[in-house]
């Protein structure tokens, strides 16, 4: 009963278009003022203590690193490198797009940043080389979604923080699925290009490839710093993120010289406002999950599921359907912050590995990013490609299909995500 009231109020407020963070907060306040005996003053404290966690601070640092990388010519050198490797194959520039997105995803934690960084350079180049606009827009908008699966990933940090799971283990768990998804997207790209006989580019010589690699190495080093550093126990994910931000600043300003020192305040301000927006949702999501717990809603749902003898297979199906539906109305971070604290106790009760659940949620969020009405990747992609939103929706369909197949694989083959963290002894 209370659960219905809480969710009814939450959705009602959300549908008015007010910020999701505000709807979460108001729901909690309204409920606490009228229905419970929980001291209301504890809410004020929670607004501070909800953020008083070193793990959460990885988010602003990763966003800052990503903002530097998006603006600093790192993406261009990566594209240059991948183009020199694969552009002589059918759909070469498209394949280079998938590979560049995967690489950029491995140094930045957000999908939108990946689409912007790779797409704004590669999409026009593809049109120039004679690829149809739809093809380029389709490849990049979907491949950009790798950003939240391949570590570092802001979504996985959010999951780790809100369920108290190891962020390091989550990052490692994202690697294998990320590589497999990249390969699947590349196969679709290759197939479409081969069927339609899209242009190929001349093969690059090995010396050109080596030169392109040497140029790109500064950006690629970030992968080593972040993943190697976390896995090697040299630093925590948050420290890795801060180091990555300083490193990204250093290479874009002093090595690649694509950013002037006078541009840095702008970058800082952009990163700060994006982080503050996320942290504000986090604060209110913490309040919301505090309300959920004090009303024992996840426990009640878990008991209900156990009573029904819902099998693991069915449970995962239901989780996917709920998450995909949520992806139709909300942005990934908000879905994750609202759903993770609810799904986590259910999943552990029914025997789903928490790390597996994290990867599963990230893949669901990826799908949500690639279809309307709220798929941010599509909006960003349509802005870059100068295409209408309905046109780009059709353009992404082949790759979106591959993603749904991949979602089923991730859901029912937990070993895909768990193998690497297990092998490394992290989980």
Residues in 108-137 that interact with another protein by CB under 8 A: 112, 115-117, 120-125, 129
Cα separations (Å) of 365 from 56, 92, 238? 19, 28, 23
Two tokens at 123?
Answer: 């999409």
Note whether 293 binds another protein by CB under 8 A.
no
Q: Which is nearer to another protein, 3 or 125 (CB)?
A: 125
Q: Three-state DSSP class for 298?
A: helix
Those residues whose C-beta lies under 8 Å from the C-beta of residue 116, and which sit 6 or more positions away, are: 70, 380, 384
Residue 359 CB, nearest approach to another protein (Å):
24
Binding of residue 335 to another protein (CB under 8 A): no
Tell me which residue of 220, 145, 216 sits closest to 177, measured CA to CA.
145
What tokens does 228 get? 């190697």
Answer for which of 6, 259, 335, 360 binds another protein (CB under 8 A) is 259
**CA–CA dist 280, 25 (Å, integer):** 10
Q: Does 17 participate in binding another protein (rule CB under 8 A)?
A: yes
Q: Does 311 sit near another protein (CB under 8 A)?
A: no
Binding-site member from 53, 296, 390, 415 for another protein (CB under 8 A): 53
How many CA atoms lie within 13 Å of 6's alpha carbon, on the beta-carbon side? Answer: 25
Q: d(Cα 333, Cα 156) in Å, to the nearest integer?
A: 10
Q: Rule CB under 8 A: choose which of 269, 300, 321, 394 binds another protein.
A: 269
31, 13 Cβ separation under 8 angstroms:
no
Q: Is 251 in the site for another protein (CB under 8 A)?
A: no
5, 9, 29, 220: which one binds another protein (CB under 8 A): 29
- The reply on whether position 371 binds another protein by CB under 8 A is no
Question: What DSSP element (H or E) covers 223?
Answer: helix 206-223
Candidate residues 102, 173, 271, 392; the one interacting with another protein per rule CB under 8 A: 271
- Nearer of residues 125 and 220 to another protein, judged by Cβ: 125
What sign for the dihedral angle of Cα 31, 33, 38, 39?
positive
> Which 153-192 residues touch another protein, going by CB under 8 A?
none
DSSP state of 147: G
- Could you say which of 188, 330, 403, 420 contacts another protein (CB under 8 A)? 330
- Rank residues 274 and 361 by Cβ distance to another protein and give the closer one: 274
Q: Which stretch binds another protein (CB under 8 A): 167-175, 184-192, 234-242, 292-300?
A: 234-242
Smaller CB separation from another protein, 36 or 415: 36
How many residues make contact with another protein (CB under 8 A)?
Answer: 93
Q: Of the candidates 6, 31, 60, 143, which one interacts with another protein according to CB under 8 A? A: 60
Q: If binding is defined by CB under 8 A, does position 204 make contact with another protein?
A: yes
Q: What is the C-alpha to C-alpha distance for residues 229 and 223, in angstroms, rounded to an integer?
A: 9
Q: Which two tokens stand for residue 63?
A: 């966003």
71 phi and psi, to 5 degrees? -95, -10
Nearer residue to another protein within complex by CB, 211 or 422: 211
Which one, of 64, 69, 111, 65, lies nearest residue 273 by Cα? 64
Question: According to CB under 8 A, which one of 283, 393, 411, 417 is a site residue for another protein?
Answer: 283
Q: How far apart are CA 399 and CA 405, in angstroms?
A: 10
Task: Note whether 217 binds another protein by CB under 8 A.
Answer: no
Specify the stretch interacting with another protein by CB under 8 A; choose among 39-47, 304-312, 341-349, 413-421.
Answer: 39-47
| Residue 54 Cβ vs another protein, minimum distance, rounded to whole Å | 6
- Span of 169-177, 182-190, 317-325, 375-383 interacting with another protein by CB under 8 A: 375-383
| Cβ 59 vs Cβ 278: under 8 Å | yes
Asked if residue 45 binds another protein (CB under 8 A), the reply is yes
Q: Nearest-CA neighbor of 66 among 104, 40, 10?
A: 104
**Which DSSP category does 148 fall into?**
G
Q: Does 256 bind another protein (CB under 8 A)?
A: no
In total, the chain counts a number of residues equal to 427
Nearer to another protein, 20 or 346 (CB): 20
**Cβ atoms 123, 156 nearer than 8 A:** no
Taking CB under 8 A as the criterion, which residues in 378-397 touch another protein?
379-381, 383-384
Q: Which stretch binds another protein (CB under 8 A): 154-162, 202-210, 390-398, 407-415?
A: 202-210
Given a contact cutoff of 8 angstroms between Cβ atoms, the answer to whether 407 and 320 are in contact is yes
Q: Which stretch binds another protein (CB under 8 A): 69-77, 297-305, 350-358, 411-419?
A: 69-77
* Nearest residue to 366 via CA among 391, 402, 340, 390: 402
Using the structure block, give the residue that is written with the tokens 């309204």: 30
Instruction: Scan residues 72-101 and list those touching another protein (CB under 8 A).
Output: 76, 79-80, 83-84, 87, 93
């Amino acid at each position: 009963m209370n659960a219905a009231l809480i969710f009814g109020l939450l959705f009602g407020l959300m549908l008015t278009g007010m910020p999701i963070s505000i709807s979460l907060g108001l729901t909690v306040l309204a409920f606490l003022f009228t229905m419970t005996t929980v001291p209301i003053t504890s809410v004020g404290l929670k607004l501070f203590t909800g953020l008083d966690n070193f793990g959460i601070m990885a988010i602003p640092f990763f966003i800052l690193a990503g903002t530097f990388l998006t603006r600093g010519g790192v993406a261009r050198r990566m594209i240059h490198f991948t183009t020199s490797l694969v552009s002589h194959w059918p759909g070469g520039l498209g394949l280079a797009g998938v590979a560049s997105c995967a690489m950029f995803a491995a140094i930045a934690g957000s999908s939108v940043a990946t689409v912007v960084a790779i797409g704004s350079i590669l999409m026009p180049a593809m049109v120039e080389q004679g690829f149809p606009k739809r093809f380029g827009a389709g490849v990049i908008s979907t491949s950009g979604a790798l950003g939240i699966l391949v570590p570092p990933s802001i979504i996985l940090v959010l999951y780790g923080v809100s369920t108290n799971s190891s962020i390091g283990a989550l990052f490692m768990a994202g690697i294998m699925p990320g590589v497999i998804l990249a390969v699947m997207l590349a196969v679709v790209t290759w197939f479409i290009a081969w069927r339609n006989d899209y242009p190929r580019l001349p093969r690059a010589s090995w010396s050109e490839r080596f030169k392109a690699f040497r140029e790109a190495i500064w950006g690629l080093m970030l992968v080593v710093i972040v993943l190697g550093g976390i896995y090697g126990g040299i630093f925590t994910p948050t420290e890795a993120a801060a180091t990555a931000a300083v490193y990204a600043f250093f290479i874009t300003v002093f090595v690649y010289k694509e950013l002037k020192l006078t541009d840095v305040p702008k970058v800082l301000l952009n990163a700060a406002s994006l982080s503050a927006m996320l942290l504000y949702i986090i604060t209110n999501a913490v309040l919301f999950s505090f309300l959920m717990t004090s009303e024992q809603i996840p426990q009640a749902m878990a008991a209900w599921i156990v009573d029904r003898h819902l099998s693991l297979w069915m449970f995962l199906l239901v989780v996917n359907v709920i998450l995909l539906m949520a992806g139709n109305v909300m942005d990934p971070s908000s879905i994750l912050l609202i759903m993770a604290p609810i799904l986590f106790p259910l999943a552990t009760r029914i025997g789903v590995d928490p790390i597996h659940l994290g990867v599963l949620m990230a893949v669901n969020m990826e799908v949500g990013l690639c279809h309307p009405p709220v798929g941010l990747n599509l909006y960003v992609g349509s802005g870059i490609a100068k295409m209408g939103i309905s046109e780009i929706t059709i353009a992404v369909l082949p790759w979106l299909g591959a993603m749904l197949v991949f979602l089923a694989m991730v859901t029912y083959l937990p070993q895909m995500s768990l193998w690497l963290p297990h092998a490394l002894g992290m989980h």
